[in-house]
Chains A and B, each alone.
Chain A
Amino acid sequence: MENSVLIKTQDLVKIYPMGWKKLVALDHVNLEFKKGDFAGLVGPSGSGKTTFLNIVGSLDGPSEGDAEVMGKKVSTLSHKQAAALRKKHIGFIFQTFNLLPVYSVYENVEISLLLLGMTHEERKRKVMQALEWVKLADRAKSKPAQLSGGQCQRVAVARAVVKEPALILADEPTANLDAENSYNILETMVELNEELKTTFLFATHDEKVIRYLRRKITLFDGKVAKDEQTTPHRKGENS
């Protein structure tokens, strides 16, 4: 299972209609990701990074080709099946954190577990464990508005990892953070990747994130321009 294929795309094409024109966001992309990968899609804006994450996360469907996520072809999934896949196996981290403002930190993290039919005690244990991972256990009762940007993103990380999904998709997770907070978040993610063997797939053009990747896929105009294994350089290490 360690090296088993988690994501496999075959001639993945995504076309968006733009008036009478068509915008090709992904152009015959063939990629494979294994369990435990810490990989990133890099490239300029409009290169197809987010589109790729959306399709892999079963939030969107392909125009042609297919993406197989944990053995399930995204193009064949109904809305319900796609929701079930996300519910059990995929965690999302967004650039703008997307925390629910009326809920506390604890409730924001707990919401991922509410759909999984866990008991209150089980949920409480897992939520507190996730908050320990991101070092925010003492802020469990705070509202998102009372947290800094870095803390908000750590809550978002906790929300993504709390259900211990096989795959976490992070779309520009450090774009709204300063350098210090970016490194803290990335360190947390690396630790979770090593500890839980969770596969992380980033969409980024942030150099700080790219330094942490073990695999870097460069997209350009919807095509894979380069796919390379890299040596990660964590905070404090010389590049």
Chain B
Amino acid sequence: MTLFKLAFKNLMGAGIRTWLNVVVLSFSFVVIIWLQGLYEGMNIQSSTAVIDAEYAGGQYWHENYDPYDPLTLQDAHGVLPDKLKSMIEKKEATPILIIQGTAYPQGRMMTLLIKGINPDQNIISLPSHFLNKETDDIPAVIGTRMSESTGLRVGDSVTLRWRDANGTFDARDATIVQVMRTMVQSIDQGQIWVPLEKLRELSRMEEEATLVIVDKDTANPPQVSGWEFKSLDFLLQDIKQLVKTKTAGGSIFYIILLLLAMLAIFDTQVLSIFRRRKEIGTLMAMGFTRAKVIWLFTIEGAMHAVLAALVAALYGIPFLAWFAKTGFALPESTDSFGFALGEKIFPAYSAGLVVGTTVLVLVITTIVSFLPTRKIAKLKPTDALRGKSS
């Protein structure tokens, strides 16, 4: 306690030098928490969006299904086994049938995925109920991005062409009954949603599906032969990897800021030890051991981090809270990043982030503060009293 008291006095006594270091270090605190919170918010937001709109509690994939290889689609469908049928009947899952097709919007030709979904499902947030609308042909739902790229609006008709299970080409008109607004590109771009039973009938794939989405509350999905269960960990790994890459890129900014603060503290310590040799000698003459003097200077340096945390809290808490409330508006171009982000990112600051940042800065500051004090260990009391370096 004595050393802490002395260190605090010395630190306050250093005046403007202390406060400059503290302010720079407090910037590091706030920027680290802000940036990490932003990435955490991005992670949570994009994960939540795709879970709600596409993945729910996980998916069973037909054993031939590979979303990254469109050529597999021809064989990636099969009759639903009893276990999955039972889950679908109990409304614990919903099947999706995917076939490759071509659309001819406004005289152009466009390859797309035709996805069949049960209009009455409520496993994912996709507005499939619009597919219950009575139309002369096939009712279809598309996303805003698809609408933008094809020029199709609600009420427009578009010719769809596909190959059925026997390899025969067929074509029919579809009417756009709804243009849905979603932040999840992977249920929007390059695809059109139609009623499942209609698609099964047109493609001669009765009782079949490509994948089955299970409800979020499904605790232990059973093993099903010929179908592989893909957990959320698997399905979200791309998003997590993307956020991780972006986090690493963003870290460079705060690492530079942290390095600047550490450099300032290191310099302050070196200068302090140089200027206060007489004081060190006096303390030794009074009975302080070298270890105690080293501790005193190290605590003094480390206290910069404590003060910085307090200063950061003073202006950082209102700033971060305001930011978490208003969010960070994203430019439209970010829609093509491959993230389901929406128009704004809302940062998420966890207790772990705040405590972790505080501990990280405190540990780094303590190490940086300790390094120059090793010089004291070589200092002879008589030289120190004369203001000389040993």
Q: Are A83 and B288 in contact (CB under 8 A)?
A: yes
A84 within 8 A of B: yes
Q: Are A114 and B2 in contact (CB under 8 A)?
A: yes
- Pick out which of these stretches binds chain A: B154-162, B173-181, B378-386: B378-386
- Pick out which of these stretches binds chain B: A34-42, A93-101, A223-231: A93-101
A66 within 8 A of B: no
Point out the residues of chain B lying under 8 angstroms from A80, CB to CB. Answer: 289
Number of A residues with CB within 8 Å of any CB on chain B? 25
Q: Which of B279-338 contact A (CB under 8 A)?
A: 279, 281-290, 292
Considering the chains assembled together, what is the distance between the CA atoms of A54 and B281 in angstroms? 12
B111 within 8 A of A: no
**Shortest beta-carbon distance from A103 to chain B in Å:** 6
Q: Are B288 and A115 in contact (CB under 8 A)?
A: yes
Closest to A80 in B: B289
Point out the residues of chain B lying under 8 angstroms from A83, CB to CB. Answer: 284, 287-289
Q: Are A88 and B282 in contact (CB under 8 A)?
A: no
Q: Are A57 and B285 in contact (CB under 8 A)?
A: yes
B12 within 8 A of A: yes
Select B13's contact among A102, A115, A159, beta carbons within 8 Å: A102
A79 within 8 A of B: yes
Pick 14 A–B contacts, CB within 8 A, sort by A: A59-B284, A60-B382, A83-B288, A84-B287, A86-B286, A98-B278, A98-B281, A98-B282, A102-B9, A102-B12, A102-B14, A114-B2, A115-B288, A159-B286
Considering the chains assembled together, what is the distance between the CA atoms of A102 and B292 in angstroms? 19
Select A102's contact among B10, B285, B381, beta carbons within 8 Å: B10
Q: Are A98 and B289 in contact (CB under 8 A)?
A: no
A111 within 8 A of B: yes
Point out the residues of chain B lying under 8 angstroms from A218, CB to CB. Answer: none
Q: Provide the A52-92 mask, 1 if CB < 8 A to any CB of B, else 0.
A: 00100101100000000000000000011001101110001
A107 within 8 A of B: yes
B20 within 8 A of A: no
Closest to A59 in B: B381
Considering the chains assembled together, what is the distance between the CA atoms of A213 and B328 in angstroms? 79
Give residues in A with beta carbon < 8 Å to B. 54, 57, 59-60, 79-80, 83-84, 86-88, 92, 94, 96, 98, 100-103, 107, 111-112, 114-115, 159
Select A86's contact among B279, B285, B290, B292, beta carbons within 8 Å: B285
**Shortest beta-carbon distance from B297 to chain A in Å:** 14
Point out the residues of chain A lying under 8 angstroms from B284, CB to CB. Answer: 59, 83, 86
**Shortest beta-carbon distance from A86 to chain B in Å:** 5
**Which of B9, B14, B282, B290 gathers most chain A CB within 10 Å?**
B282
**Shortest beta-carbon distance from B381 to chain A in Å:** 4
Considering the chains assembled together, what is the distance between the CA atoms of A87 and B293 in angstroms? 14
Closest to A92 in B: B285
Point out the residues of chain B lying under 8 angstroms from A92, CB to CB. Answer: 282, 285-286
**Shortest beta-carbon distance from A91 to chain B in Å:** 8
B6 within 8 A of A: yes
Q: Which of B1-36 contact A (CB under 8 A)?
A: 2, 6, 9-10, 12-14
Closest to B287 in A: A87
**Shortest beta-carbon distance from A82 to chain B in Å:** 9
Q: Are A103 and B9 in contact (CB under 8 A)?
A: yes
Considering the chains assembled together, what is the distance between the CA atoms of A96 and B385 in angstroms? 10
Considering the chains assembled together, what is the distance between the CA atoms of A79 and B292 in angstroms? 12
Considering the chains assembled together, what is the distance between the CA atoms of A88 and B287 in angstroms? 8
Q: Are B381 and A60 in contact (CB under 8 A)?
A: yes
Considering the chains assembled together, what is the distance between the CA atoms of A98 and B12 in angstroms? 19
Closest to A107 in B: B9
